[in-house]
Structure 1
């Protein structure tokens, strides 16, 4: 019986294509046809000298609301294109007092204002002053924390996963599962596009993406309904660099780090921005060698087939990663209010690993009963690419105008894994065996979405949107066994698997303010259709519709205090890798396999936040999660001493947390961003005859110190700690790290050198114990994380102009406001 015929053909629904193209043509035509009024003028000093780059702002006369901002050109000239109305003009520049014009009425097609004269301030008339503006590394907002990676000396030669592991409230466990404030289940997006990976697959992807490509990372704990409902713990939004300067500009960077092995990154960025278009491109190459040391201690209870036993396993693994990543794009602005863009990005990585494994199995006595060694070689290639077409349009030159955005996306992720596993049995002596694997996986994602924002009376705003997504995951693996010179196909572990997913979503969101209260209320509906098929096996088909409300109320309690309440429902659907039953062998003792029986976990999230002086915040949180997805290890159904790593659903998880955030200015040259999370998680469920009802308090702490030093030096010292915690059947020991870096600007800020040392005290190794009635496992994982790095960046081109002169309150800015940025 055919299922998802459009997805089978790799096509998006034709009605959505028609809607998208219609919106694109209609809004572009409307924008081109509209005629604007204009206001122009000049800015000069008392001596009559034109002031280049003076900031001129257009305000509404009624309430001084900012409409748009421009920079003066080299002749001190500025121009605003807007609609008729009553306005004010203000002008400012460093070293001068701010100027305010009288109110004026704009009715004619063009109005020339009298010349504006800025008067030098007394502070700068006495002596020369050097002003250096630097965005803080960490910024805290009501619903998110922003990490400005581009300004951090610790980003040199780091991977995106390294940066996340140091971010406030973020944790990364041994399986590369990301957590935020003590919870897992996160939506990861790069430039607004979802990364459809989890666990080790996501970890490998983020390791291959160098931090030099990043502009910022946003840790969003209460995402609005404009985001997918995926991600019970929140959203991690990764924003790549995009040059905003006019003219032709670029930068080159290179870095080399050394732990036990070397790590190299080099890259290039080019940008050409004109008043009507912007073309840009970036490229980075990464080559990283490292090691992974894995030690296992496993205990097996007696079964009808096997006696109780204990095994000790040592794995020494060498890794060699090479990756190429890049992005090219073009933005075209047919009018001041319309932007049409296209972008293509890609990431191709190859990881080669060699593992030496030694396994000793002992009886309960204990006496050695068997010993074997194995050599594992894996070659993993992961090319991926994505195409985006987008439209941004506002229907008037106003910060509160109606706005429309539309996006069409296509992404493809491919994985090719070659395995060679040779096992030598020393006690008792048996013939050497060899297992060869050839695994291929292709993940294709197609989506269309449109968002519309409409202002309402009384400072309110209505936002609506629709989105449809089609996903196809094709997987196949072939295993061949060789023993005593005979090579045979293994049909028991070779197979094909296909997973189709279709999600159709619509949302409505209302924002408004009354007196000292701000309210945002939204509802998102998502229809999900999935089909999982294994060749020669059963198929699993699911269809369901769920609703996801989101409410945020903020109240100002005087000038110093503020209170906010948020309530939201969210979902975590299993990823395509989590439901894939095909095997991926780690070594001779264990493998990873998905679970087609997994169902989505859903959660209700409540949070009350108190803010003091718009800086210091204290939040109390509670979340109830049904069918939580947790990672477990169990003896394989194949028998013997083989272990399978997979994900299962438990019954419930309850989560309580207290989060304290304190950005402090210790001194004029020293700022501290401190974040602490005290939380308690309780899990209930059962697995393999083991009933689970356990919880434990735990805490996270991070402190980032930024120092402004003489002679254009800056420094950063970052420390974080994760206390011992319980996660399902697993109990993990405490861990943390300290990282320090220096940075200096050269040649009038055209060049930058960076030096840093990561994991100074080598305290990141992870140790954990999983306990079941029939099985226990303790493991320790250590990697090449203590690294000393030197890096250099050089910028070229029109470096004087730091931003595009057209700062229209366009749809892109409107969406950022809708997201609380």
Structure 2
């Protein structure tokens, strides 16, 4: 196959070798007063250009270290030793086989632990770097005891509606990664997992607006990378946490972690349990027809849900040599959701033999998503030549049983039809196997070349059965018209080349990614088949200009895709009630987008961004009514085009060590064109988003955090979304030398985190309102044990790189 030969050649093109260098560095490390050698101390040789670790060596018993075969260039040393302050050297320039013997390096004893410092000097959990927005959970009171879905809402520009559909700066089509591995399970199931994933196992969320070519091209609104916690502390340590929450219903959770880290071996484990019992009140109102012949169908009811989930994350990392490391990660998240719907539907002038129906639905979802990831990295030389390999296998299992019973009444509230019941049974087995090989090479000490290959194999077996009752009995039969055995296979082969170059204050990056997609699907019930085979090139580039120490600009561009998921392509009907079902669209096409962003950063105080996104074949979900049957249908189609122009501004400021503030705002202009349910639309809309987060150190060990957010009403195609917002408050207090951490939080204090959706089509309207149990009080108690002093070698990489560069300059 031509494309496979093309992709296989990408790594060969990048494997350019350089001549061997003979420079060396040697030195000695001693502890305070230079009287005690720092034996078994880790010394890292860092490249000045990008703070990349080139070599790492453990000192001898006498504190000696020695680096050999170093390429010409500028370097610095980074030394970390438990209970002593970090050491960063001045610039070391190597040229023409330089041999350098450094003066003795003396490390100084710390007087306080990092934990004591961090609670007495607040730091923003939000940071901006290289087109990324990074939200850290470290020392973030509101994140304690929360779920990833709740944490997502605090990312600037991220909006989730009542059905957990997510947009970023008004753009749909965001995709998720976990530790850099793209999650390819369907969107609805992914959001279900995130709704039950505890933040206690998460270190940070990274929003990548315009990913470069080394990332998957999926995600027309960008990527959100969920970074799980790693062991940062030498020796052993751990924590236990309990969370108790109360709204309309009780809920809670627990978490335990146990970690060990030595110079070569790292073990990390985390297990969490979540229990949620939300109560949602909802209403839906539909009108069909004209004023002279108007049908009205109104449903009101409640949904009482019980959620139970367990999340397990374990990782083993081993350093085979100073240049080679391997890690093995295992994750699983078994869960169960039980919903009890109780609703009443009243009909006026509808062409149905009843005026009212009362229905109850018992819905039970069981799911699990075990995955295992193998990662290996080898550093070839001191110029930065390295290769990494990642293999990931995920098996998502999902089982749903939806039992619905209906009672029908006439205008006199007498039963007009025999009772009806049906069971919707779904069994989903989704398997994903990916392999990725990445290669990095530095050329001529100024160019960085990246290349890689990736293959992804997806197989989904989906069995759906609709069991209907014989009228007036409790006997069921299978309805073949609404049952299916669906088999879906998808293969993606990809390769990329990405180059980076710095010219003084200007940094340039450009890349090209090639992806070939093969889809084969068949509905074995009716033998309907789907075959697709298409090839795409996805260019990306960025240009960064640092005008001064305080002013920097960055322009980025990327071309991206969203492929329809199996459930979006499967046309089988899934009934939610007697008068409502959802269905896919086998003719749905991939969605593409051109994305341009211009960012300006003033001293990390003001960060502004202008974005322009142009979609083609925009994937669009909507609701309409079948006028003859009075049935509401949820489906999906392609819009011809969509254009979104957005502007965002963030202000963040730290006042001393006791107060910091972040204010974010976004406004977007949207234009959608296409045909929805045989109706042409050319719709323009304007929307906005505001958020504020503040931290105040009240006493030495007490912290107050406030987060508020608001999104304006907006129009998306034929659908109108109402405003919504939230105010969250948390009080944190530490005890027992910072080992005991207590957080009292109040979420959605004003009870405004809910909204409504209204759809308008000729001669029909649809209105949906849902108010969930979002106002809650939550108490979280965490106890940490073991070694509490953090070796900064394993601290936040972004913070380290900034610190290193400042010290060296």
TM bucket normalised to smaller: 0.7 to 0.9
- Cα drift, residue 771 of structure 1: 0.6
CA contact (8 A) 1:465 1:506 kept: yes
Partner of 2:567: 577
Partner of 1:26: none
Structure 1 residue 327 and structure 2 residue 313: aligned?
Answer: yes
Structure 1 residue 417 and structure 2 residue 400: aligned?
Answer: yes
Partner of 1:183: 171
Indicate the larger mover: 676-685 or 560-569: 560-569
Question: Residue by residue, what CA displacement relative to the aligned partner does 1:603-625 show, whole Å, maximum 9, x if unpaired?
Answer: 11112222222442222211110
CA contact (8 A) 2:158 2:166 kept: yes
Matches of residues 775-814 of structure 1 in structure 2 within 5 Å?
775-803=764-792
- Cα gap change, 1:82/1:260 in structure 2, threshold over 3 Å: closer, same or farther? farther
How far apart are the structure 1 equivalents of 2:515 and 2:50?
A: 41
- Cα drift, residue 227 of structure 1: 0.9
How far apart are the structure 2 equivalents of 1:660 and 1:497?
A: 46
CA contact (8 A) 2:27 2:103 kept: no
Out of 324, 332, 338, the position equivalent to 1:338 is 324
CA contact (8 A) 1:68 1:807 kept: no
- Cα drift, residue 197 of structure 1: 3.9
Secondary structure of the structure 2 residue equivalent to 1:595: coil
Structure 1 residue 353 and structure 2 residue 343: aligned?
Answer: no
Structure 1 residue 148 and structure 2 residue 130: aligned?
Answer: no
Partner of 1:28: none
How far apart are the structure 2 equivalents of 1:438 and 1:628?
A: 31
Partner of 2:15: none
Out of 477, 483, 486, the position equivalent to 2:464 is 477
Out of 157, 160, 163, the position equivalent to 1:172 is 160
CA contact (8 A) 2:213 2:496 kept: yes
Partner of 2:374: 389
- Cα gap change, 1:508/1:308 in structure 2, threshold over 3 Å: closer, same or farther? same
Indicate the larger mover: 648-657 or 78-87: 78-87
- Cα gap change, 1:70/1:805 in structure 2, threshold over 3 Å: closer, same or farther? farther
Out of 430, 437, 441, the position equivalent to 1:454 is 441
- Cα gap change, 1:271/1:109 in structure 2, threshold over 3 Å: closer, same or farther? farther
- Cα drift, residue 369 of structure 1: 6.2
Indicate the larger mover: 344-353 or 424-433: 424-433
Out of 662, 673, 676, the position equivalent to 2:665 is 676
Secondary structure of the structure 1 residue equivalent to 2:200: helix
CA contact (8 A) 1:633 1:646 kept: yes
- Cα gap change, 1:264/1:805 in structure 2, threshold over 3 Å: closer, same or farther? closer
- Cα gap change, 1:214/1:521 in structure 2, threshold over 3 Å: closer, same or farther? same
Structure 1 residue 695 and structure 2 residue 680: aligned?
Answer: no
How far apart are the structure 2 equivalents of 1:102 and 1:160?
A: 41
Out of 430, 434, 452, the position equivalent to 2:417 is 430
CA contact (8 A) 1:269 1:282 kept: yes
How far apart are the structure 2 equivalents of 1:413 and 1:614?
A: 41
Partner of 1:406: 389
Question: Residue by residue, what CA displacement relative to the aligned partner does 1:321-348 show, whole Å, maximum 9, x if unpaired?
Answer: 0011102222121101111122211111
- Cα drift, residue 116 of structure 1: 3.6
Question: Residue by residue, what CA displacement relative to the aligned partner does 1:671-706 show, whole Å, maximum 9, x if unpaired?
Answer: 112221110111111122321111111111111112
How far apart are the structure 1 equivalents of 2:304 and 2:656?
A: 45
CA contact (8 A) 1:268 1:282 kept: yes
CA contact (8 A) 1:246 1:803 kept: no
Count of paired positions:
776
Out of 511, 518, 537, the position equivalent to 1:522 is 511
Structure 1 residue 289 and structure 2 residue 277: aligned?
Answer: yes
Question: Residue by residue, what CA displacement relative to the aligned partner does 1:120-145 show, whole Å, maximum 9, x if unpaired?
Answer: 99xx9xxxx96756653111223111
Question: Residue by residue, what CA displacement relative to the aligned partner does 1:95-150 show, whole Å, maximum 9, x if unpaired?
Answer: 999896897989999998654457999xx9xxxx9675665311122311111023
Out of 593, 616, 621, the position equivalent to 2:583 is 593
- Cα drift, residue 487 of structure 1: 2.7
CA contact (8 A) 1:282 1:327 kept: yes
Indicate the larger mover: 505-514 or 766-775: 766-775
Secondary structure of the structure 2 residue equivalent to 1:150: coil
Question: Residue by residue, what CA displacement relative to the aligned partner does 1:543-600 show, whole Å, maximum 9, x if unpaired?
Answer: 1101110010112224432222222111111122222333333333322222222111
- Cα drift, residue 302 of structure 1: 6.8
Question: Residue by residue, what CA displacement relative to the aligned partner does 1:381-418 show, whole Å, maximum 9, x if unpaired?
Answer: 0111111111111112x4x4111111111111111111
Partner of 1:310: 296
CA contact (8 A) 1:175 1:199 kept: no
CA contact (8 A) 2:273 2:311 kept: yes
Out of 213, 217, 228, the position equivalent to 1:225 is 213
How far apart are the structure 2 equivalents of 1:651 and 1:103?
A: 57
How far apart are the structure 1 equivalents of 2:269 and 2:85?
A: 38
- Cα gap change, 1:155/1:53 in structure 2, threshold over 3 Å: closer, same or farther? farther
How far apart are the structure 1 equivalents of 2:794 and 2:726?
A: 43
Partner of 1:256: 244
- Cα drift, residue 187 of structure 1: 1.3
Matches of residues 752-771 of structure 1 in structure 2 within 5 Å?
752-771=741-760
Partner of 1:643: 632
- Cα gap change, 1:257/1:16 in structure 2, threshold over 3 Å: closer, same or farther? farther
Q: Which runs of 5+ in 2 are unaligned?
A: 12-20
Secondary structure of the structure 2 residue equivalent to 1:623: strand
CA contact (8 A) 1:39 1:79 kept: yes
How far apart are the structure 2 equivalents of 1:272 and 1:92?
A: 17
Structure 1 residue 193 and structure 2 residue 181: aligned?
Answer: yes
Superposition TM-score, scaled by structure 2 size: 0.88
- Cα gap change, 1:385/1:765 in structure 2, threshold over 3 Å: closer, same or farther? same
Matches of residues 734-745 of structure 1 in structure 2 within 5 Å?
734-745=723-734
- Cα gap change, 1:111/1:133 in structure 2, threshold over 3 Å: closer, same or farther? farther
CA contact (8 A) 1:246 1:804 kept: no
How far apart are the structure 2 equivalents of 1:190 and 1:180?
A: 18
CA contact (8 A) 2:426 2:464 kept: yes
- Cα gap change, 1:189/1:139 in structure 2, threshold over 3 Å: closer, same or farther? same
Out of 218, 223, 231, the position equivalent to 1:243 is 231
Q: CA RMSD in A?
A: 3.9
How far apart are the structure 1 equivalents of 2:499 and 2:231?
A: 33
Question: Residue by residue, what CA displacement relative to the aligned partner does 1:252-296 show, whole Å, maximum 9, x if unpaired?
Answer: 111111111112111111122232222222111111111122111
Q: Which runs of 5+ in 1 are unaligned?
A: 5-12, 21-33
CA contact (8 A) 1:657 1:679 kept: yes
Matches of residues 1-80 of structure 1 in structure 2 within 5 Å?
39-46=26-33, 48=35, 58=45, 77=63, 79=65
CA contact (8 A) 1:149 1:211 kept: yes
How far apart are the structure 2 equivalents of 1:294 and 1:113?
A: 72
- Cα drift, residue 232 of structure 1: 0.8
Question: Residue by residue, what CA displacement relative to the aligned partner does 1:211-270 show, whole Å, maximum 9, x if unpaired?
Answer: 212110011111111111011111111111121222222211111111111121111111
Indicate the larger mover: 450-459 or 353-362: 450-459
Indicate the larger mover: 532-541 or 587-596: 587-596
- Cα gap change, 1:108/1:624 in structure 2, threshold over 3 Å: closer, same or farther? closer
Partner of 1:549: 539
CA contact (8 A) 1:135 1:148 kept: no
Indicate the larger mover: 143-152 or 605-614: 605-614
- Cα gap change, 1:357/1:71 in structure 2, threshold over 3 Å: closer, same or farther? farther
- Cα gap change, 1:472/1:102 in structure 2, threshold over 3 Å: closer, same or farther? closer
How far apart are the structure 2 equivalents of 1:718 and 1:404?
A: 42
- Cα drift, residue 798 of structure 1: 2.2
Secondary structure of the structure 2 residue equivalent to 1:586: strand
- Cα drift, residue 297 of structure 1: 0.9
Indicate the larger mover: 605-614 or 171-180: 605-614
Partner of 1:726: 715
Secondary structure of the structure 2 residue equivalent to 1:650: strand
- Cα drift, residue 800 of structure 1: 2.4
